[in-house]
Amino acid sequence: MSRIGRKPIPLPKGVVVKIEGNTVAVQGPKGKLDTQLPRGIRMEQQDGTLVAVRENETRCELLGYDVRLHKLLIFSLGGAIAGLAGSLFANWGAFVSPNVFSLTTTSQIIIWVIVGGLGTLVGPIIGCVVMQYLATELGTQQLANTSLIFGIIFLAFVLLVPRGIVPSLRVLRARLSAARARPAAQARHGA
């Protein structure tokens, strides 16, 4: 049992929660989660269980992992992060209008992630900065409808650059470094 506030919270067997200052550490049988308020969240998964659950649930169940528990924990963590983001947004703006829940806002967030790159932390941030800059520039010039331009960009990235900016740049960098290494290796073997 771990005490947070006044009521004890039942924890699964083998899970330990330590709270020291502004750091919360959760240690489980399959991994460790450290949360430090100024630095953000770092997930250390020693055996890759979460990746395995994402890739093939049936295989993980057959190997004896409790897939439902892993999915529940990650879903709860995602919900907690979303709740924290929502509360910070409401605190920052001091008002939450119904426009926040519109289809336009939701589609913008999806476009940020797709433009920046799925599976990366910095990708959606880069996508957000690029797309918000573009929206600001288009809004000040009033040349075209911003939603139409966002739709065209979304289609272009889905069809032409499905990985997004950051993963595509990583692949390009790996190809360039391999191309640079190839002539040097051929010169060593040829001489």
Residue type, 146: T
pLDDT of residue 114: 93
The answer to whether 30 and 46 have CB atoms below 8 angstroms apart is yes
Q: Cα–Cα distances in Å, from 8 out to 1, 4, 29, 69, 136?
A: 6, 7, 21, 20, 48
Write 37-42 long-range contacts (CB < 8 A, 24+): 41/81
38 confidence band (pLDDT: 50, 70, 90):
very low
Q: How far apart are CA 141 and CA 123, in angstroms?
A: 27
The string of pLDDT tens digits covering residues 50-71 is 888 888 898 888 888 888 988 9
d(CA 108, CA 112): 6
Q: Give 36's pLDDT tier (boundaries 50, 70, 90).
A: low
pLDDT of residue 179: 86
Residue 19: band (very low, low, confident or very high) from pLDDT cuts 50, 70, 90: low
Instruction: Give the 3-state secondary structure of residue 66.
Output: coil
Mean pLDDT of the chain: 79
Kindly state the helix (H) or strand (E) to which residue 134 belongs, with its residue range: helix 122-141
pTM of the model: 0.58
Quick one: which of 129, 81, 87 has its CA closest to 108?
129
Band (pLDDT 50/70/90 cuts) for residue 104 is confident
What pLDDT shows up at residue 35? 57
